[in-house]
Amino acid sequence: PSMMRCRAGMEARPRSRASVLGEAADREQLDRELPPIVASDRDAGAIAATRANAERAGVDDAIETIERSVSDVGPPAGTEAGGPGWVLTNPPYGQRIGDADKDLRDLYARFGTVCRDRFPGYRVGLLSADRKLTGQTGLAFPAKPAFATDNGGIKVGLMITT
């Protein structure tokens, strides 16, 4: 008789208190196991925008924001040396007024050095509009981006280390 019904009677009953508490405990455990998320930039305005965006998204308590240059970046406190982890960056692309070629080449090269020296075992994702600048990092990126998109009207690709 129940073969013709969409749901059997047990499926339609409310969940038990034990199952709800179990699910809540699972979520609490998941929250404790999330890796640290640290956002940094040398520009105070970028940090303020990051904090405001995180607050609007309701995740401001999950993201640590620090004003610092790429030369001062290191793994989050309390994490194991050698990863695993991710370093993700959206550096300047060199397409806006004031972006000097040499300064950007130096920035990308410094970023690569910091990743190799301080983040062994981490994967690196870099949003880039210029393959030559990406090459300045000296990191092992594949020939093609993981995906391509527009960022503020600029065509960019997400490069992920192999």
For position 31, what pLDDT does the model report? 58
Contact 90, 133 (CB under 8 A): no
> Which pair of structure tokens corresponds to residue 127?
């949003």
Measured CA angle at 57 (ends 89, 94), to 5 deg:
25
* Predicted pLDDT of residue 10: 42
148 touches 159 (CB < 8 A): no
Where does the chain have alpha helices with state H?
9-12, 17-33, 44-57, 101-118, 131-135
Token digits for 59? 């995740």
- Which mean pLDDT values do the consecutive 10-residue runs of the chain (162 residues) have? 44 57 62 80 95 94 94 88 88 71 91 96 95 95 95 94 91
